[in-house]
């Protein structure tokens, strides 16, 4: 063990075959789409090199297909020809020069593929894909094994320290190992031994053709969370056989992409899944890597201390802060920018075919374009508004050597983040608030809370630059009876200024309407432990049940109040929610009995509740509280007054644009503006 006083287990080196990893933190595979961007290899090299410099023990690339049929999408990442090696060498050289080690992940999507060439063990369409795959012929199965081996050979020649074979998350290898997707009656299907043959042959083929020091990591599906998925016993048997076949290390994946249990979203408590890694660790003699929702050094240290894994696999937390390991080692835990598990700028961006970045770290993926350099002419800058846009602008301006004064009208910094942190699971925003406050302090930003800046005050202080980040106010709506005592705004509810009765109608089913429904439908005694999460979502921790889904299914939680969430537009509710998190929130609300009505016309607020028209009929939603979640309006009065006084300003965040207000855009605008001043 190291004698580092902060996180001794996390920082202990590990011998791996003929290599030594300098600590137990692995930057896990994550698709970024950077390779598809102009100058992609160079940008990937900068992206990974920055993480290597930040001290991470090992980096795994995003997945590369071993052949055309394994593509995620047309022109997706692939390594199947020698001509592609040059680009990879740019990456491996950069990482090695930065003192890091890097493995290439080989990922064959199977039926999750987005091209017409999609194949699988059997011709069964995935519930999350519009494409039915072609069943692989026996000769094609052999060829695919050979393609994995060729890909590993090319990775070796490109300078990678090894490969990770993606056998998890429901991709092709997983489709072979599970009866759910493998209905073959040849030697590749039927019994568990037959279903396991495909990954075992892949590992053997790679080991046979590669020099001894080359690392083979196998990502094993440690809990499938789908019907007819593998039992725990089958998984342990596969793990032992994979070790025998020649793998050096096992990383553990949780859940297939088509699983309907959230595995990495904000509502999943930290460290929830490490029990599944422990089962494997207890069964094999090679190191095992725990994964999913390990976003802080404390969580990693605890997982290692509890013996749930030998290493930890962190993907998004290294997007959020490339210096995660070095800061932890230096005793600077408070300076780490922690991933809040929102998925907004990483996974949700990937699904929108955009390049991944990070809500809390806009530099992610733009390492050379967004350099924080000292200002040529240090200035005196006023930032008005201490929400996410203002805090981002002030801290980056301060980091560049400007003299910055941050005005905040309320008694505390945070703006909308102070409300968001009240939503179940979004208490991860506390980490962002803590990070910003430390950054402001480190960069000597003068903070004036409880000061509502006005024109005279700003003009008196002779600022060189004025940044308006005054945020938003809840939109007031016109409706008969809106002044009724039972009407409240979402800010009053989330801030605790007002309480709710037993029957609640929520006007507006945007992101905040859903968050308010979530906030109001959990019990005050809500247990946020991993154990409670697993029980609520119906996860069985035994070894016998297929897919790890308990026969009782998810528990029916009882909301402490009757809640109706309403929207005027017809069509599916929840469309504005995050692609990778919204479905889980919808499921949780359904379990708690929250009623969602679409296509309604609001008529009056009356003593009994909210009168609406729905499908041509008038009805009253009984309610003793009506919460208005109808979006926001920009707070621009100071901006306008300064303009009228002839003072020029920069306007960012919700003050610039209230529609589709979100922390991602606010932080990124603050950050980018401060780099230009
Ligand atoms: P929003 O997403 O714009 O939703 C407000 C909803 O209020 C609209 O969808 C609209 O729905 C309704 N509305 C607007 N004007 C109205 C009026 N005059 N009368 C009655 N209803 C009216 O705003 P938000 O919910 O406040 O969210 C703000 C931002 O934060 C959004 O960008 C959102 O995506 C983001 N956010 C996201 C999440 C998440 O993804 N989980 C959580 C929180 C916030 P109808 O017209 O259909 O009724
Ligand atoms: Fe984490 Fe959100 Fe950043 Fe993704 S966008 S890495 S989930 S903080």
pLDDT digits (tens, 9 = 90+) for 640-654: 999 999 999 999 999
| CA-wise closest residue to 246 among 221, 216, 220 | 216
Mean pLDDT of 623-630: 96
Using a pLDDT cut of 70, give the percent of the chain over it.
99
* Nearest ligand 1 atom to alpha carbon 567: 48
State the pLDDT confidence band at 554, using cuts at 50, 70 and 90.
confident
3 has pLDDT over 90: no
Using a pLDDT cut of 90, give the percent of the chain over it.
91
User: What are the pLDDT digits (tens) for 306-342?
Assistant: 999 999 999 999 999 999 999 999 999 999 999 999 9
Mean pLDDT of 377-398: 97
Q: Quick check: CB of 319 below 6 Å from ligand 2?
A: yes
* Nearest ligand 1 atom to alpha carbon 420: 43
State the distance from the centre of ligand 1 to the C-alpha of 158, rounded, in angstroms: 49
Nearest ligand by distance to the CA of 586: 1
State the distance from the centre of ligand 2 to the C-alpha of 382, rounded, in angstroms: 29
User: Has 171 been annotated as catalytic?
Assistant: yes
| CA-wise closest residue to 471 among 629, 638, 250, 677 | 638
| CA-wise closest residue to 670 among 394, 408, 446, 344 | 394
What residue's CA is closest to ligand 2, atom 1? 339
677 has pLDDT over 90: yes
For the CA atoms of 84, 161, 331, 364, the dihedral, rounded to the nearest 10 degrees, stands at: 10
Q: What is the pLDDT of residue 37?
A: 84
Q: What is the pLDDT of residue 127?
A: 96
Rounded to whole angstroms, what are the CA distances from 158 to 44, 155, 219, 462, 670? 15, 5, 21, 57, 39
- Element (DSSP H or E) covering residue 153: helix 138-157
User: What are the pLDDT digits (tens) for 141-173?
Assistant: 999 999 999 999 999 999 999 999 999 999 999
Give the span between the Cα atoms of 112 and 118, in whole angstroms: 8
Q: Quick check: CB of 512 below 6 Å from ligand 1?
A: yes
Q: Which domains does the chain show, CATH number per domain?
A: 14-351 (3.20.20.70), 380-474+634-676 (3.40.50.720), 487-522+557-630 (3.50.50.60)
Q: Quick check: CB of 62 below 6 Å from ligand 1?
A: no
What residue's CA is closest to ligand 1, atom 14? 630
Mean pLDDT of 259-271: 96
1 has pLDDT over 80: no
Q: What is the pLDDT of residue 29?
A: 97
State the distance from the centre of ligand 1 to the C-alpha of 479, rounded, in angstroms: 17
* Nearest ligand 2 atom to alpha carbon 357: 5
What residue's CA is closest to ligand 1, atom 32? 660
Mean pLDDT of 280-288: 98
With left for phi above 0 and alpha for psi between -120 and 50, is residue 271 left, alpha or beta?
Answer: left
State the distance from the centre of ligand 1 to the C-alpha of 574, rounded, in angstroms: 10
State the distance from the centre of ligand 1 to the C-alpha of 576, rounded, in angstroms: 8
2 has pLDDT over 80: no
Q: Quick check: CB of 346 below 6 Å from ligand 2?
A: yes
Q: What is the pLDDT of residue 340?
A: 97
Q: What is the pLDDT of residue 444?
A: 97
Rounded to whole angstroms, what are the CA distances from 217 to 206, 209, 213? 11, 15, 12
Contact 374, 400 (CB under 8 A): yes
| CA-wise closest residue to 41 among 61, 15, 24, 56 | 61
Nearest ligand by distance to the CA of 416: 1
Reduce the DSSP state of residue 297 to 3 states and report it. Answer: helix
State the distance from the centre of ligand 2 to the C-alpha of 344, rounded, in angstroms: 6
Q: Quick check: CB of 359 below 6 Å from ligand 2?
A: yes
State the distance from the centre of ligand 1 to the C-alpha of 506, rounded, in angstroms: 11
Q: What is the pLDDT of residue 385?
A: 97
670 has pLDDT over 70: yes
What residue's CA is closest to ligand 1, atom 38? 511
* Nearest ligand 1 atom to alpha carbon 478: 18
Contact 558, 594 (CB under 8 A): no
Mean pLDDT of 258-283: 96
* Nearest ligand 2 atom to alpha carbon 338: 8
| CA-wise closest residue to 607 among 589, 620, 619, 591 | 620
Reduce the DSSP state of residue 617 to 3 states and report it. Answer: strand
Among 153-167, 322-336, 462-476, 554-568, the minimum mean pLDDT is found in: 554-568
Q: Quick check: CB of 500 below 6 Å from ligand 1?
A: no
Q: What is the pLDDT of residue 247?
A: 97
Q: What is the pLDDT of residue 48?
A: 97
Q: What is the pLDDT of residue 294?
A: 97
- Element (DSSP H or E) covering residue 329: helix 324-329
Give the span between the Cα atoms of 92 and 90, in whole angstroms: 6
- Tally of CB atoms within 10 A around 573: 21
State the pLDDT confidence band at 610, using cuts at 50, 70 and 90.
very high
503 has pLDDT over 80: yes
State the pLDDT confidence band at 525, using cuts at 50, 70 and 90.
low
Q: Quick check: CB of 629 below 6 Å from ligand 1?
A: yes
User: What are the pLDDT digits (tens) for 409-448?
Assistant: 999 999 999 999 999 989 999 999 999 999 999 999 999 9
State the pLDDT confidence band at 98, using cuts at 50, 70 and 90.
very high
Beta bridge partners of 406: 383, 447
State the pLDDT confidence band at 201, using cuts at 50, 70 and 90.
very high
State the pLDDT confidence band at 660, using cuts at 50, 70 and 90.
low
Nearest ligand by distance to the CA of 658: 1
Q: What is the pLDDT of residue 667?
A: 95
521 has pLDDT over 90: yes
Give the span between the Cα atoms of 389 and 170, in whole angstroms: 39
Q: What is the pLDDT of residue 356?
A: 94
Q: Which class for 202: exposed (0-12), middle (13-18), buried (19 or more C-beta within 10 A)?
A: buried
Which long-range CB contacts under 8 A does 570-574 form with residues at least 24 apart?
Answer: 570/598, 570/599, 571/598, 571/599, 572/598, 573/509, 573/598, 574/509, 574/514
Q: Quick check: CB of 341 below 6 Å from ligand 2?
A: yes
368 has pLDDT over 90: no
Over the chain, what is the mean pLDDT?
95
| CA-wise closest residue to 380 among 366, 362, 398, 357 | 398
């Amino acid at each position: 063990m190291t004698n580092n006083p902060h996180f001794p287990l996390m920082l202990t080196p590990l011998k791996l075959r003929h290599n030594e990893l300098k600590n137990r933190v692995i930057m896990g595979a994550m698709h970024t789409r950077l390779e598809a961007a102009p100058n992609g290899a160079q940008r990937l090299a900068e992206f990974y090199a920055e993480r290597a410099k930040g001290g991470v023990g090992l980096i795994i690339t995003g997945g590369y297909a071993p052949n055309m049929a394994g593509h995620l999408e047309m022109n997706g990442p692939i390594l199947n020809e020698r001509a592609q090696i040059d680009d990879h060498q740019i990456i491996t050289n950069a990482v090695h020069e930065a003192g890091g080690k890097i493995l290439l992940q080989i990922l064959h999507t199977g039926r999750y593929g987005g091209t017409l060439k999609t194949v699988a063990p059997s011709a069964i369409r995935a519930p999350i894909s519009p494409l039915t795959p072609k069943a692989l012929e026996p000769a094609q199965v052999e060829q695919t094994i050979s393609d994995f081996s060729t890909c590993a050979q090319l990775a070796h020649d490109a300078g990678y320290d090894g490969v990770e074979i993606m056998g998890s998350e429901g991709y092709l290898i997983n489709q072979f190992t599970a009866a759910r997707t493998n209905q073959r009656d040849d030697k590749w299907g039927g019994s568990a031994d037959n279903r396991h043959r495909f990954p075992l042959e892949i590992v053997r083929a790679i080991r046979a053709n590669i020099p001894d020091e080359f690392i083979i990591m196998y990502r094993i599906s440690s809990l499938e969370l789908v019907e007819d998925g593998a039992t725990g016993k089958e998984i342990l048997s596969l793990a032992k056989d994979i070790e025998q076949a020649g793998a050096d290390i096992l990383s553990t994946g949780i859940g297939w992409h088509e699983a309907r249990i959230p595995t990495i979203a904000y509502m999943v408590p930290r460290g929830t899944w490490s029990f599944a890694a422990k089962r494997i660790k207890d069964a094999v003699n090679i190191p095992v890597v725990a994964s999913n929702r390990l976003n802080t050094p404390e969580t990693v240290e605890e997982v290692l201390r509890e013996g749930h894994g030998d290493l930890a696999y962190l993907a998004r937390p290294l997007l959020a802060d490339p210096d995660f390991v070095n800061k932890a080692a230096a005793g600077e835990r408070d300076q780490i920018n922690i991933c809040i598990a929102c998925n907004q700028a990483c996974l949700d961006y990937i699904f929108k075919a955009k390049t991944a970045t990070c809500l809390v770290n806009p530099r992610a993926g733009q390492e050379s374009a967004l350099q924080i350099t000292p200002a040529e002419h240090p200035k005196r800058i006023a930032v008005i508004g201490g929400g996410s846009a203002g805090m981002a602008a002030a801290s980056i301006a301060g980091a560049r050597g400007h003299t910055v004064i941050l005005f905040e009208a309320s008694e505390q910094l945070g703006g909308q983040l102070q409300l968001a942190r009240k939503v179940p699971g979004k208490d991860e925003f506390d980490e962002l608030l803590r990070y910003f406050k430390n950054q402001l302090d480190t960069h000597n930003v003068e903070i004036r809370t409880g000061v509502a800046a006005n024109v005279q005050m700003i003009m008196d202080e002779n600022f060189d630059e004025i940044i308006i980040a005054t945020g938003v106010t809840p939109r007031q709506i016109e409706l008969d009876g809106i002044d009724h005592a039972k009407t409240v705004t979402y800010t009053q509810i989330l801030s605790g200024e007002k309480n709710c009765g037993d029957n609640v109608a929520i006007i507006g089913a945007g992101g905040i309407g859903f968050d308010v429904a979530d906030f109001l439908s959990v019990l005050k005694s809500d247990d946020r432990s991993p154990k409670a999460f697993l029980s609520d979502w119906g996860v069985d921790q035994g070894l016998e049940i297929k897919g790890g889904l308990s026969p009782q299914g998810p528990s029916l939680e009882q909301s402490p109040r009757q809640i109706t969430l309403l929207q005027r537009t017809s069509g599916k509710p929840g469309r504005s929610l995050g692609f990778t998190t919204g479905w889980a929130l919808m499921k949780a609300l359904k379990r708690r009995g929250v009623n969602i009505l679409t296509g309604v016309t609001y008529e009056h607020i009356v003593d009994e509740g909210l009168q609406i028209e729905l499908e041509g009929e008038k009805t009253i939603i009984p309610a003793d509280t009506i919460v208005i979640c109808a979006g926001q309006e920009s707070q621009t009065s100071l901006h306008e007054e300064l303009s009228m006084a002839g003072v020029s300003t920069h306007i960012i965040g919700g003050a610039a644009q209230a529609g589709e207000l979100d922390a991602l855009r606010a932080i990124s605008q603050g950050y980018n503006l401060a780099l230009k001043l």
